[in-house]
């Protein structure tokens, strides 16, 4: 049974997801020691080549998936295009029997995710999360007030199986009929969010899915990442309008400030932007 990690990275003019994927692959090699494949496009690969980076050195398999449509979302006060609609195709795209899908903005600093392999369950989902400063974000609990439970697409494990195939079939259906589902579940119809697709699929399949055994720690997009090294991350954030600072050692964390993360990841991976 082959095991590996699947990343999705599609650059925009503003954000270099390819650079984050390079950094992730190095962190994964260091802490998880599993092969990493990337789903990307020619634009991202060309950007990496222009930065004198050879992607074949970092990835087990490079899977090209071109996009006609880019969405946009507001980050740091600006509308930024992004391409994320291929996550639901992971079942067809993965080269592995057992796959762990990860976002490219997770700082891997421990081997804890290696617990998922060879699991008795075919699918492991992620829904427990904690803000780094203990702030409460209702959007990560439920899709809306009195709505269905929120689940993350940020980290997700599956084994090639009937259950996983059914799950991704459902995800693709929700993605392709997102407007209707947004009306049904009372959520915004734009941009299409993978977390919401995952949440609806998990809700509708009504299967007792097993969970990845941890709380996904996260820092929000407005937090400042002050320091990022293999050993330590220092993040500043506002809590009740007061500055707070915290230090994380040897723990994984989902860092949503992608603008700062790209810069710090490029420094760590020695990629000259």
Residues in contact with other proteins by CB under 8 A are 110, 112, 115, 117-121, 130, 132-134, 208, 210-211, 213-215, 217, 224, 226-227, 232, 234, 236, 239, 242-251
* Buried/exposed 96-114: b ≥16 CB within 10 Å, e otherwise: bebbbbbbbbbbbbeebbe
Q: Minimum distance from CB of 225 to other proteins (Å)?
A: 10
Q: Which is nearer to other proteins, 7 or 124 (CB)?
A: 124
Cβ count near 29 (within 10 Å):
14
Q: Is-contact 117 200, C-beta < 8 A?
A: no
Q: Minimum distance from CB of 28 to other proteins (Å)?
A: 18
Q: Minimum distance from CB of 251 to other proteins (Å)?
A: 5
Q: Minimum distance from CB of 115 to other proteins (Å)?
A: 5
Q: Which is nearer to other proteins, 85 or 125 (CB)?
A: 125
Q: Which is nearer to other proteins, 61 or 217 (CB)?
A: 217
Q: Which is nearer to other proteins, 51 or 234 (CB)?
A: 234
Cβ count near 192 (within 10 Å):
22
* Buried/exposed 128-153: b ≥16 CB within 10 Å, e otherwise: ebebbbeeeeeebeebeeeebebbbb
Q: Which is nearer to other proteins, 188 or 213 (CB)?
A: 213
Cβ count near 46 (within 10 Å):
12
Distances (CA, A) of 169 to 54, 111, 143, 184, 191: 34, 31, 21, 19, 21
Q: Which is nearer to other proteins, 49 or 227 (CB)?
A: 227
Q: What angle do CA 10, 16, 19 make, to 5 degrees?
A: 100
Q: Minimum distance from CB of 93 to other proteins (Å)?
A: 25
Between CA 65 and CA 56 the distance in angstroms is: 16
Q: Which is nearer to other proteins, 84 or 127 (CB)?
A: 127
Q: Minimum distance from CB of 253 to other proteins (Å)?
A: 10
Q: Minimum distance from CB of 245 to other proteins (Å)?
A: 4
Between CA 52 and CA 57 the distance in angstroms is: 12
């Amino acid at each position: 049974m082959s095991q590996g990690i699947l990343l999705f990275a599609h650059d925009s003019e503003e954000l270099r997801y390819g650079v984050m994927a390079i950094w992730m692959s190095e962190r994964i090699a260091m802490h998880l020691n599993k092969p990493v494949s990337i789903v990307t496009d020619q634009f991202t690969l060309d950007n990496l080549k222009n930065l004198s980076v050879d992607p074949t050195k970092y990835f087990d398999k490079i899977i090209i998936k071109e996009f006609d449509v880019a969405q946009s979302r507001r980050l740091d006060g600006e509308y930024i295009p992004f391409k994320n609609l291929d996550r639901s195709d992971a079942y067809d795209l993965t080269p592995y029997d057992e796959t762990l899908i990860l976002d490219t903005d997770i700082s891997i600093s421990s081997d804890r995710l290696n617990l998922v392999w060879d699991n008795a369950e075919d699918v492991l989902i992620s829904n427990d999360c904690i803000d780094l400063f203990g702030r409460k974000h209702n959007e990560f609990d439920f899709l809306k007030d009195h709505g269905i439970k929120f689940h993350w697409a940020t980290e997700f494990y599956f084994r090639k199986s009937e259950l996983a195939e059914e799950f991704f079939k459902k995800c693709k259906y929700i993605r392709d009929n997102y407007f209707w589902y947004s009306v049904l579940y009372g959520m915004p119809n734009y941009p299409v969010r993978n977390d919401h697709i995952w949440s609806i699929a998990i809700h509708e399949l009504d299967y007792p899915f097993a969970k990845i055994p941890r709380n996904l720690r996260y820092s929000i997009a407005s937090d400042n990442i002050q320091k990022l090294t293999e050993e330590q991350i220092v993040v500043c954030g506002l809590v009740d309008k007061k500055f707070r600072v915290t230090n994380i050692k040897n723990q994984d964390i989902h860092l949503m400030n992608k603008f700062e993360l790209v810069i710090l990841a490029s420094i760590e991976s020695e990629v000259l932007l």
